[in-house]
C-alpha cells in the first residue's frame, strides 16, 4: 500500500491506460469520464469517491479497497470485484453496464444496484443480505450458495435461481418476475 494521500481532487477525462493512476489513498475524490480499461489499480484505496461515466472494463482490482464509493453511469465489463480487499468493502452502483462482473465470495450486505445491466454477473457464495437490485437486468446471472436474505428484487428482471441453493428468507419479489425462481423445475406457467 502506498502512503500517498490525495484528497478532494477532481479527475476529468483521464486516460489511465497509458499513464497509470499512481497507487495511494484517494479520499473524497471525483473521477469523471476517465478510462481505466485494463488498468492496474492494485493496492489503491478509494474512500468516499465518486466515479461518473468511467470505463473500468477488465481493470485489475487486485487488493483495491473501495470504501463508501459510488459508481454512476460507468462501464464495468468483466471486472473482478472478488479480487478487491475485503475489509470495509462498500460501494453502490447507478445506471452502470456491469456485464460479466464477479462478486464471488464477497460480504457486501446492503449494496445498492440501481438501473444496472448486470447480465452474467456472478454472485456465487456472496453475502448479499439486504442488497437492492432496483430496475436491474440479471439475465444469466449466477446465484449459488448466495445469502439473499432481505434482498429486494421487486423491480429486477430476468433473474433465475434456485431457492434451494440460496438463502432467500424475507427477500422481496414481485410478479411476474418471481417466476424465475421456478425455472429449474421444468414446469409450464400459463
Fold adopted by 1-75: Pectate Lyase C-like (2.160.20)
Beta strand 45-47 with 132-134 is unpaired
Domain boundaries, the chain: 1-75, 98-190
- Range from 15-24, 87-96, 100-109 carrying the lowest mean pLDDT: 15-24
* pLDDT per residue as tens digits for the range 150-181: 999 999 999 999 889 999 999 998 887 777 67
The band of 50, judged by pLDDT with boundaries at 50, 70 and 90, is very high
SS3 labels along 61-90: CCCCEEECEEEECCECCCCEHHHCCCCCCC
The answer to whether residue 183 scores a pLDDT higher than 80 is: no
Same fold? 1-75, 98-190: yes
12 - beta bridge partners? Answer: 32
157 - beta bridge partners? Answer: 137
pTM over 0.85: yes
- Could you give phi then psi for residue 40, rounded to 5 degrees? -95, 105
Query: According to the CATH classification, is domain 98-190 in 3.60.40.10?
Result: no
Distance (Å, whole) CA 59 – CA 178: 34
Amino acid at each position: 500500500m502506498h502512503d500517498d494521500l490525495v484528497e478532494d481532487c477532481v479527475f476529468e477525462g483521464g486516460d489511465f491506460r497509458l499513464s497509470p493512476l499512481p497507487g495511494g489513498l484517494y479520499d473524497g475524490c471525483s473521477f469523471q469520464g476517465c478510462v481505466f480499461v485494463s488498468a492496474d489499480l492494485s493496492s489503491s484505496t478509494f474512500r468516499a469517491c465518486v466515479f461518473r461515466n468511467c470505463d473500468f472494463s477488465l481493470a485489475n482490482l487486485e487488493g483495491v479497497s473501495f470504501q463508501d464509493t459510488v459508481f454512476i453511469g460507468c462501464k464495468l465489463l468483466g471486472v473482478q470485484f472478488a479480487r478487491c480487499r475485503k475489509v470495509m468493502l462498500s460501494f453502490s452502483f447507478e445506471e452502470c453496464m456491469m456485464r460479466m462482473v464477479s462478486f464471488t465470495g464477497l460480504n457486501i450486505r446492503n449494496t445498492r444496484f440501481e438501473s444496472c445491466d448486470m447480465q452474467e454477473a456472478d454472485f456465487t457464495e456472496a453475502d448479499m443480505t439486504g442488497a437492492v437490485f432496483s430496475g436491474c437486468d440479471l439475465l444469466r446471472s449466477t446465484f449459488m450458495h448466495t445469502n439473499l436474505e432481505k434482498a429486494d428484487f421487486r423491480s429486477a428482471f430476468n433473474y433465475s435461481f434456485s431457492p434451494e441453493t440460496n438463502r432467500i428468507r424475507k427477500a422481496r419479489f414481485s410478479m411476474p418476475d418471481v417466476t424465475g425462481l421456478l425455472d429449474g423445475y421444468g414446469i409450464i406457467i400459463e
